[in-house]
Amino acid sequence: MTFWNVDTLQLQAFRPGIVSKAEIGSSLIMVCMEIAAGKEDTGHEHAFDQCGLVITGEIEMFVGEERKTLTAHESYFIPAGVRHGWKTFASPAKLLDVSFSKVLPN
């Protein structure tokens, strides 16, 4: 599908506490995801840049040593190789996230 309306998009179970819909191209992945209240990713890193926008809700994110609570219409950028993670609070957070679909050769 080429076009999405994130308000009506049908999300599917991805992992416990996260529902999502992904569109995978030859070099990019666009994902709309909703993370349930009270969930946390204590941190990970990967070999590609990642960015996104909070659509609804509130989520605390850390990227390297920076930590910020984001709400609707705020964005994030995560450089390749930088440890990052997140946690949600009393309500779910919906995000639109974009990253490489594969690591490109040097």
Contact 35, 86 (CB under 8 A): yes
Contact 59, 73 (CB under 8 A): no
Specify if 65 maps to a domain. Answer: yes
* CA neighbor of 50 nearest in space, from 84, 74, 6: 84
* CA neighbor of 96 nearest in space, from 14, 11, 34: 34
- Predicted TM-score (pTM) of this structure: 0.91
Query: How many Å is the maximal CA-CA distance in the chain?
Result: 42
Residue found by looking up tokens 């989520």 in the block: 59
Cα gap 35→88, rounded to integer Å: 7
Domain count, the chain: 1
pLDDT at 74: 98
Cα gap 80→72, rounded to integer Å: 24
Q: What's the length of the chain?
A: 106
The helix/strand count (H/E) of the chain reads as 0, 10
Q: Which domain holds residue 94?
A: 33-100
Q: What is the pLDDT along the chain (106 residues), one digit of tens a residue?
A: 689 999 999 999 999 999 999 999 989 999 999 999 999 999 999 999 999 999 999 999 999 999 999 999 999 999 999 999 999 999 999 999 999 877 555 5
CATH number, position 76: 2.60.120.10
